[in-house]
Amino acid sequence: MSGRGGCGPCWGLLLALVLALGALPWTQGAEQEHHDEIQGFQIVTFKWHHVQDPYIIALWVLVASLAKIVFHLSHKVTSVVPESALLIVLGLVLGGIVLAADHIASFTLTPTVFFFYLLPPIVLDAGYFMPNRLFFSNLGSILLYAVVGTVWNAATTGLSLYGVFLSGIMGELKIGLLDFLLFGSLIAAVDPVAVLAVFEEVHVNEVLFIIVFGESLLNDAVTVVLYNVFQSFVTLGGDKVTGVDCVKGIVSFFVVSLGGTLVGVVFAFLLSLVTRFTKHVRVIEPGFVFIISYLSYLTSEMLSLSSILAITFCGICCQKYVKANISEQSATTVRYTMKMLASGAETIIFMFLGISAVDPLIWTWNTAFVLLTLLFVSVFRAIGVVLQTWLLNRYRMVQLELIDQVVMSYGGLRGAVAFALVALLDGNKVKEKNLFVSTTIIVVFFTVIFQGLTIKPLVQWLKVKRSEHREPKLNEKLHGRAFDHILSAIEDISGQIGHNYLRDKWANFDRRFLSKLLMRQSAQKSRDRILNVFHELNLKDAISYVTEGERRGSLAFIRSPSTDNMVNVDFSTPRPSTVEASVSYLLRESASAVCLDMQSLEQRRRSVRDAEDVITHHTLQQYLYKPRQEYKHLYSRHVLSPSEDEKQDKEIFHRTMRKRLESFKSAKLGLGQSKKATKHKRERERAQKRRNSSVPNGKLPLDSPAYGLTLKERELELSDPEEAPDYYEAEKMSGGIEFLASVTKDTTSDSPAGIDNPVFSPDEDLAPSLLARVPPWLSPGEAVVPSQRARVQIPYSPGNFRRLAPFRLSNKSVDSFLLAEDGAEHPESTHM
């Protein structure tokens, strides 16, 4: 136990807090008597009762949060025991202490608090961060598990218990068939809170995760309907239930589920619409997200529809538009607040589940009933999963294998929803309420603690195949990663996820109507990913440029205005900026050096090689692009993943688009390629001369026809004519950089003349060092445009030369082709 030392004081603090909580009611009483006696004005008064309720709530939240800190002091514990289980145990302990001090269980998880305040943040969080594509791809399976699975669980559990009851093992109980079915319906539902809490720590594949997770969210409608139906049946009395009531029950299922969904969608629409107009009230933007979603929850609760469905779908539907509409800061605020609320609510729920269990009044023990419930719940869940999966696998493209089924059955955790529902039961009508309550608590604790504890080892054990662990060779690592990329590309091509047709239709509808209605104009525009990419890259370059300058100790490079100095920088010297590079150079040097003592040379090479190996592995490990399966993060309540993935996407996207654009152009322009190539070469040289002659004043001769052509190309790609005027500006400004840079570039490298394969050859251009270069025609108007001077100097920041060359194009880029070509076609143009 590494964190033992740190735990002691914290536990002490916790105990003190708890004792204070227990002791407060007494002091309150004493204080009140005291208060009555004193007359006249008092400077300081002790008004405990005045703040009692919020105070206690705040203290509990504090205790729960502190407990979380304590748990995470020791990684060993949290990696083995799920946090939810720890919290329940903590709750039990705290409940015990309070009980010992107070002699009554004063704090329990009441259904009102749970349903109105604790559950909505968790479900909203789940909806708002739902991986939509994954969710809708598997919607069919999710619905089957959620609807049929839950009904199956409820019916089989209730009926089996009733059957056993008839056999008399349970002894005398005042329960009828309907009570059993009612109990079955509330214990049947897999709990979203518990599932998330446990599955978050078990890393299963995304399909499996979304099915269990989605099921737990969507089964709410079924649970609510079954619960309400059987409750009203119990109230009516078994003999008065008619067939009409049963039909009504089935109808109400559709009304409740579809109605809840509809409410969610309507509020999502409202929310998106509202955020469209919050431009001038940025500060309260995040508030809308929470308030309107919460209203959707309350509205459907008011209409007795499925509130969980409502808020889930509100989150799912609004996420796209809201994220596009609100400002970046607001988006961050929403993200963090949502995670904080959800995480906090979850903590409180589990702790209070523990605390609530410590109440002698609710406990009624019936061994047979409890054990049989546990047995039936687990067994029928497994049977149900196997049956449904068998059915599904006949239609699914991604088969759910036996291992998946085991995890799904085992992951059917029950949680606070069941507890809150059972606590809602009317003790007058349901005679054995306490038995139900105690059994539910046992089932919840068993599933969360025992199954939660064992599911991780189970998952690991089932995937025992990959036991061999050795550092793979460089080739294996590189090619392995390449294979992953290949696979995901092939999956995309073969349309593995399916539903493409529907998705296409929806995307069309969304683009043509919904987005226009629900998104700001600016947001619609900035959705153009190419522009985003360039914007981001510009920002990054500017930042790294300044950082680099600062790292070097001064910002002198900003101050020196003379371009002459810059031109004199010798770029051909290798820049030993990184260890890797220097080692690599050392290696090459030693290999080429004339050395007669071959053995010592070999020795030296080997040691250098080993060192380099380590570094290379490290570099690869760190910077290889991750394949989609790894980086597309799943929903996680606690972890806000940074935008690493987006960054990667942008980099690759940018690269790909640039390449395609070039091959597209070369295909378009290169009708007679061999002839063209030589022509290009000649022209480039000529253009070069022109540029060289204009170096001193740093101005690029611009001829409008060339840019007209460029503009046309750009429109072809972006089809965003509104941006056009800005591009002229950007173009003009970056022009200077472009040719300045190409002066040095041209001397060092010459492209292979002639393009054999229009798609392959641009590769060379796409070196990561040149990646940051974005063709000027892609520059968005609002991109960060450094001052003229800064621009001129950016490419020459000595430490970061390659990275910081976003504003120029390589000499092979089509733009310079166009420029050169144009010059040749108009020999009379002014700048010649």
Partner 1 sequence: MGSSGSHATVIPDGDSIRRETGFSQASLLRLYHRFRALDRNKKGYLSRMDLQQIGALAVNPLGDRIIDSFFPDGSQRVDFSGFVRVLAHFRPVDEEEAGIRDPKQPEPLNSRMNKLRFAFQLYDLDRDGKISRHEMLQVLRLMVGVQVTEEQLESIADRTVQEADEDGDGAVSFLEFTKSLEKMNIEQKMSIRILK
Given a contact cutoff of 8 angstroms between Cβ atoms, the answer to whether 419 and 186 are in contact is no
Report residue 193 CA to chain centroid gap.
Answer: 18
Cα–Cα separations (whole angstroms), residue 431 to 141, 155, 601, 739: 38, 20, 90, 88
Q: Binding string to partner 1 for residues 205 to 234, with x set by CB under 8 A, is what?
A: ------------------------------
Residue closer to partner 1, measured from CB, 323 or 732: 323
Q: Is 716 in the site for partner 1 (CB under 8 A)?
A: no
Of the pair 510, 703, the CB lying nearest partner 1 is at: 510
**CA neighbor of 538 nearest in space, from 774, 715, 734:** 774
| Alpha carbon of residue 531 to chain centroid | 23
User: In angstroms, rounded to a whole number, what is the distance separating the alpha carbons of residues 454 and 74?
Assistant: 19
Q: What is the DSSP string of 653-678?
A: HHHHHHHHHHHHHHHHH-SSHHHHHH
The stretches of 670-718 forming alpha helices (DSSP H) are: 673-693, 704-718
Which region, judged by CB under 8 A, interacts with partner 1, from 118-126, 153-161, 607-615, 732-740? Answer: 607-615
Going from the C-alpha of 473 to that of each of 585, 618, 619, 630, the distances in angstroms are: 22, 12, 13, 20
Q: Does 681 bind partner 1 (CB under 8 A)?
A: no
**Residues contacting partner 1: total by CB under 8 A:** 81
Instruction: Select from 585, 606, 643, 788 the one that contacts partner 1 (CB under 8 A).
Output: 585
Q: Which of 89, 101, 587, 790 binds partner 1 (CB under 8 A)?
A: 587
Which of 576, 721 has the CB closer to partner 1? 576
Whether residue 33 contacts residue 96, with contact meaning beta carbons closer than 8 Å, is answered with no
In angstroms, rounded to a whole number, what is the distance separating the alpha carbons of residues 93 and 87?
A: 10
39 belongs to an annotated ligand binding site: no
Task: Please pick, from the candidates 65, 616, 673, 744, the single residue that binds partner 1 as defined by CB under 8 A.
Answer: 616
Contact between 508 and partner 1 by CB under 8 A: the answer reads no
Of residues 297-356, those binding partner 1 (CB under 8 A): none
397 is in an annotated binding site: yes
Binding flags for partner 1, 106-145, as an x/- string (CB under 8 A):
----------------------------------xx----
Amino acid identity at 724: A
Taking each helix axis from N to C end, the angle separating 328-357 and 83-102, rounded to the nearest 10 degrees, works out to 50
Using an 8 Å Cβ cutoff, are 787 and 774 in contact?
no
Q: Do 358 and 102 touch, CB atoms closer than 8 A? A: no
- Residue 390 is a binding residue for partner 1 (CB under 8 A): no
Nearest to partner 1 of 40, 672 (CB atom)? 672
Shortest Å, Cβ 649 to partner 1: 4
User: 439 to 498, contacts with partner 1 by CB under 8 A?
Assistant: 472-476, 478-496, 498
CB of 328 to partner 1, least distance (A): 21
Q: Is the dihedral of CA 775, 778, 783, 789 positive or negative?
A: positive
Structure-token pair, residue 584: 């690599």
Q: Which of 76/473 has CB closer to partner 1? A: 473
Q: Which residues of 387-406 are buried (b: 16+ CB within 10 A; e: fewer)?
A: ebbeebeeeeebebeeebbb
CB 269 within 8 A of CB 316: no
Tell me which stretch binds partner 1 (CB under 8 A): 53-61, 265-273, 410-418, 576-584.
Answer: 576-584
Our finding on whether 55 is near partner 1 (CB under 8 A) is no
Cβ of residue 647: shortest distance to partner 1, in angstroms?
8
Asked whether 645 and 634 are in contact (CB, 8 A), the reply is no
Closest distance between partner 1 and the C-beta of residue 508, in Å? 13
Counting Cβ atoms within 10 Å, is residue 671 exposed (0-12), middle (13-18) or buried (19+)? exposed
Report if residue 105 touches partner 1, rule: CB under 8 A: no
The answer to whether the beta carbons of residues 697 and 740 sit under 8 Å apart is no
Q: Which of residues 734-763 bind partner 1 (CB under 8 A)?
A: 757, 759-760, 763
Half-sphere exposure of 370 (CA within 13 A, CB side): 17
To partner 1, the closest distance from the beta carbon of 487 in angstroms equals 6
Give the residue among 698, 728, 694 at the shortest CA–CA distance from 710.
728
Residue bearing tokens 């371009």:
563
CB of 644 to partner 1, least distance (A): 10
**Which 765-804 residues touch partner 1, going by CB under 8 A?**
766-769, 771-772, 802-803
Q: Which residue, 133 or 831, has its beta carbon nearer to partner 1?
A: 133
Least distance between partner 1 and beta carbon 771 (Å): 5
In the complex, what is the shortest distance from the CB of residue 471 to partner 1, in angstroms, rounded to a whole number?
A: 12
653 is an interface residue for partner 1 by CB under 8 A? yes
Q: Which stretch binds partner 1 (CB under 8 A): 30-38, 94-102, 351-359, 580-588?
A: 580-588
Q: How far is the CB of 480 from partner 1 (least distance, A)?
A: 7
395 binds partner 1 (CB under 8 A): yes
Contact flag: residue 624 with partner 1 (CB under 8 A): yes
CA geometry: angle 721, 727, 729, nearest 5 deg: 140
Of 193, 583, 661, 730, the one binding partner 1 by CB under 8 A = 583
Shortest spacing between CB 463 and partner 1, in angstroms = 13
- Classify burial at 633, counting beta carbons within 10 Å of its beta carbon; exposed 0-12, middle 13-18, buried 19 or more: middle
3 is in an annotated binding site: no
Tokens of 751: 């492209």
> Is 140 annotated in some ligand binding site?
yes
Give the residue, chosen from 35, 248, 335, 499, that forms a contact with partner 1 under the rule CB under 8 A. 499
d(CA 632, CA 484): 13
> What length does the chain have?
832
Task: Choose which of 32, 590, 619, 749 interacts with partner 1 (CB under 8 A).
Answer: 619
Residue 610 binds to partner 1 (criterion: CB under 8 A): no
**Residue of 613, 630, 685, 782 interacting with partner 1 (CB under 8 A):** 613
Q: Does 34 bind partner 1 (CB under 8 A)?
A: no
Annotated binding site, which residues?
140-141, 397, 496-497, 499
